[in-house]
Structure 1
């Protein structure tokens, strides 16, 4: 199962590292180039801000089946887009929530505008540790250029924004920061106020609160948006592990009477697949430029419908399952992609990774049927197991 982590936070980076360590197929999506650099050169990084439609395209193109939203607690617009995109594409969505923290003697505000109104009637310098996204909200303060000291990530766009707004002192460095580092910044700029978000332990909230207390600085906290549906990082890691260990192919026994099965290919492998399908009540269509002797006989008897032609995506419309068994790798891949677009089960004879179902070896008696599948990589093992199951069924029928 492919996993996509919407990151940009400490937890996002740690989750990607967890996946790499445990052999889980995962990629991370970050909003900025700087965010990509913070992931320490990992190859499975997708960068760039994406709206709802772009997220949908990404999920469908890369076939992600699980999304972990580990974006910042204040990135509510991103979370909304990710959640909607997952709902529209039927992709499982998990929201990671940071543990909340509170600080004694802090003043809490619903947003930065409300904090700016409070500060408008005060004096003294302000260390603003909310990032660059909303720092312009403090430009309403008198002499904000001198009073407000933004502390931002050392990303080019953030630094340029602060310069453009006219801030005389800007701290550009990566957090989270220790108590001592926070104290040093507060003392260096003779700050009377520290404005921060309730970013949890991963965002260094406790260290900022402790530094403010030690230096006698008034702590102003922007409340995080209320979220109810989410789980901890530890719980996310448990789910990721369960997904890795879960079997990806379910042995589906369904009523297929009258349902259409399409086999593309006319050679030896395709013939074996068709012979197996003929033991069941499928309406079988075989598409190929040429047919084996066995296929030709089946077509004459009316058991299959043979279409001697080049494959087209329209050939599988309305099918319950498709088998791609040609000798052309690119054509098999094309068939699998067409089946995926149409939501059809597909077995790709020369590539297990592209299958949405594995073609089983069959063991049966008059009233019992067993299907044996493997990982798609050890056909000999499946063949041997199928023979043993046939022997067991024979012994059962004989009463042995």
Structure 2
């Protein structure tokens, strides 16, 4: 299956996490870091998810998944240890036009979780289309060493300069200034600026 890489704004959007174990915790951490309004349905929660629920950071409905859990949901992530439950979540999501990720079946998922290096607004995402998540994690580790914390400031500062150019310049001049900005932003890093 071929996936199109796309960044999605999840801040304050309702996201359902079906499952309460180790995999659910990892996915939940990623979703919370994106600002999702995270709702969890599971008979039980691992310690870390239980702690988040106790702190009010996630809403937990204790019990088995039910179709009503999908009401008003933007994205559903099914990561139980029962394949038939995950498949049922996927089937219901497709019927209702809800994006879904089935952690045990990338081929039936609308979305998958990439391995991400995050430096402020600067993000690099690596995916193998669900074929080999371990490979994606190893590539992520290499990228994390190459693209250090300084990229957060680089992204913010160059973004502010870009906005100033967009306000001040028009047409061909704007394009020239934007290209110069991008090249200048990379001069202070280990990456060479690309030639036109």
TM-score computed with the length of structure 2 as normaliser: 0.73
Matched, 1:277 2:31: yes
1:296 to 44, 50, 59: 50
* RMSD, matched Cα: 1.7
Matched, 1:375 2:126: no
Q: CA deviation at 1:367?
A: 2.6
2:86 to 320, 323, 332: 332
Q: Give 1:388's aligned residue.
A: 142
Which deviates more, 315-324 or 249-258? Answer: 249-258
Task: Give 3-state SS (helix, strand or coil) of 2:148's partner.
Answer: helix
Bigger radius of gyration: 1
Q: Is the 8 A contact 1:317 1:342 kept in 2?
A: no
Q: Give 2:166's aligned residue.
A: none
Q: Give 1:318's aligned residue.
A: 72
Q: CA deviation at 1:338?
A: 0.8
Q: Aligned partners of 1:380, 1:255: CA distance in 2, in Å?
A: 26
Task: Give 3-state SS (helix, strand or coil) of 1:266's partner.
Answer: coil
Q: CA deviation at 1:289?
A: 0.4
Q: CA deviation at 1:281?
A: 1.2
Equivalent residue runs for 1:1-400 within 5 Å: 248-394=2-148, 397=151, 399-400=189-190
Q: CA deviation at 1:351?
A: 1.1
Q: Aligned partners of 1:395, 1:309: CA distance in 2, in Å?
A: 41
CA spacing shift, 1:395–1:265, aligned 2, 3 Å: closer
Q: Aligned partners of 2:135, 2:92: CA distance in 1, in Å?
A: 30
After the TM superposition, which parts of structure 1 deviate over 6 Å for at least 4 consecutive aligned residues? none
Of Structure 1 and Structure 2, which has the larger fraction of its residues in helix? 2
Q: CA deviation at 1:395?
A: 7.0
Length, aligned pairs only: 154
Q: Give 1:112's aligned residue.
A: none
Q: Aligned partners of 1:341, 1:356: CA distance in 2, in Å?
A: 13
Q: Aligned partners of 1:375, 1:360: CA distance in 2, in Å?
A: 8
Q: Is the 8 A contact 1:362 1:370 kept in 2?
A: yes
Q: Aligned partners of 1:301, 1:390: CA distance in 2, in Å?
A: 31
Task: Give 3-state SS (helix, strand or coil) of 1:394's partner.
Answer: coil
Q: Aligned partners of 2:42, 2:48: CA distance in 1, in Å?
A: 14
Q: Is the 8 A contact 2:115 2:136 kept in 1?
A: yes
TM-score computed with the length of structure 1 as normaliser: 0.37
